[in-house]
Structures are given as C-alpha cells and as structure tokens.
Amino acid sequence: MQKCVAEFIGTFWLVLGGCGSAVLAAAYPQLGIGFVGVSLAFGLTVLTMAYAIGHISGCHLNPAVSIGLWVGGRFEAKDLLPYIVAQVAGAIVAGGVLYLIASGKAGFDLAGGFASNGYGEHSPGQYSMLAALVCEVVMTMMFLFIIMGATDARAPKGFAPLAIGLGLTLIHLISIPVTNTSVNPARSSGVALFAGDWALSQLWLFWFAPIVGAALGAVIYRFLSKSE
C-alpha cells in the first residue's frame, strides 16, 4: 500500500508539474517558459520524486517504466497492476487539479489541447502518425535504457535521479514538437480525459508506443549487461 500511495503522489506531481508548466506557464505573456522550460519541468518532477520516494517505491511514475523494468528483470509481475492503477489515478487527479486552476482564468479553453499528446493536425509540429509512433518508441526505449543503466548496482551511487531526470528533460527537448512528448501512458491519460475529443481518440498511440519502447530498452540493456 505504501508503494502504491508513493506512486500515486509521484505521478500526481509529474503531471501537475510537467503538464501544469505547459498549460499555465509555457506561453505566459512576456515571461513564458517555452519548450525548454516545460522540458525542464518534466525532468525536475522526476528528479525531485526520485529522491523523495525512490527508496519507497522505486519512483516509476509511469506504466511503461513499470512494464519495462518487469521485462528487464527488475520488477515483479504481481506488482504491475497495482502500480499502473496508482499511476493512472495520480495522473487523473493531477489533471483535475490542473483543470480547476487553469479554468480560473477568464477565456480558458480546452481547444488548446490541455497539454495532451497528439499526432497529425494535433501534433505541435504537424508530424504524421508514423513519425509520432517512431518518436515515442525510440524516446521511451532510450528512457528505459537510461533508467536501467543509472540504477545498475555497478553505476555510481546516488546519481541515478540526476541521470534519469536530465534524460527525461532531453527527451522532451527532442520530441515536444513531434507529439508534445508522452513516453508515459499515465501522463497522457491524465490530461486526455479532460481534453476529450481528439485527445482520447489518439490516446491509444501513447499507450502502445511507450510500452513497446520500454520493453525494447529493457531487453537491449539486459543483453548488454549480461554480455559483460
């Protein structure tokens, strides 16, 4: 129970901090933080939570990460469903809190996407579904590779949160123009449920691609690790 509560809180923070920065601060008049600021915000949510709850739950905050760590032999199958439920629930609650805050401003409109992930006409850069699919698979693959490497028993101690947080920042710097960056089905679901419409109809890709990418990253790292 403690682990699931930790995952709930951690994923809540990730969505509120990351998506919140995109919705509330990215294009704020004159002082907008832009893509770089949003990328840093996502990385900082993982960095801070890794230190806060990493010793409790492992700080997955992401169904794809939990599945990837299971594929990589670092996580037990019996814990997958409770973790995923807690992560998605935390993301949805964060989406609700963000909606309450954002809707307190005159002129608020969900037509802007509410930080949802998308492809085609709903991609920030109008990238195709295939481009979005490839991007999400590759970015999540590298994210899992970083996570498994940074948390390896042979890696320098105490620096894993930095590597993982900065890795997520880099992933966002690369892929926000393509999909608004998911690499996390919970993050995508938490805001898509409030945006509705196209965000829900395209949500499948942001479950499928991150899970496939996470599994690939875990398999590749496991292979390299065993070959030594």
The dihedral of CA 182, 186, 191, 194: what is its sign? Answer: positive
Give the pLDDT confidence score for residue 228 in this predicted structure. 52
CA proximity to 45, closest of 10, 14, 21, 6: 14
Rounded Cα gap, residues 93 and 99, in angstroms: 10
Only one residue has tokens 């949802």, namely: 116
pLDDT in tens, 43-55: 999 999 999 999 9
Residue type, 206: F
CA 153 to chain centre: 24
For residue 156, give the DSSP letter. Answer: P
Q: Pick out the chain residues at pLDDT < 50.
A: none
Tokens standing for residue 164:
């993982």
Rounded Cα gap, residues 54 and 59, in angstroms: 5
CA 104 to chain centre: 26
CA proximity to 117, closest of 58, 49, 171: 171
Give the pLDDT confidence score for residue 225 in this predicted structure. 86
CATH number of 2-226: 1.20.1080.10
Give the pLDDT confidence score for residue 28 in this predicted structure. 65
Give the pLDDT confidence score for residue 143 in this predicted structure. 97
**How many residues make up the chain in this entry?**
228
Give the pLDDT confidence score for residue 108 in this predicted structure. 85
Domain boundaries, the chain: 2-226
Only one residue has tokens 């010793």, namely: 55
Give the pLDDT confidence score for residue 52 in this predicted structure. 95
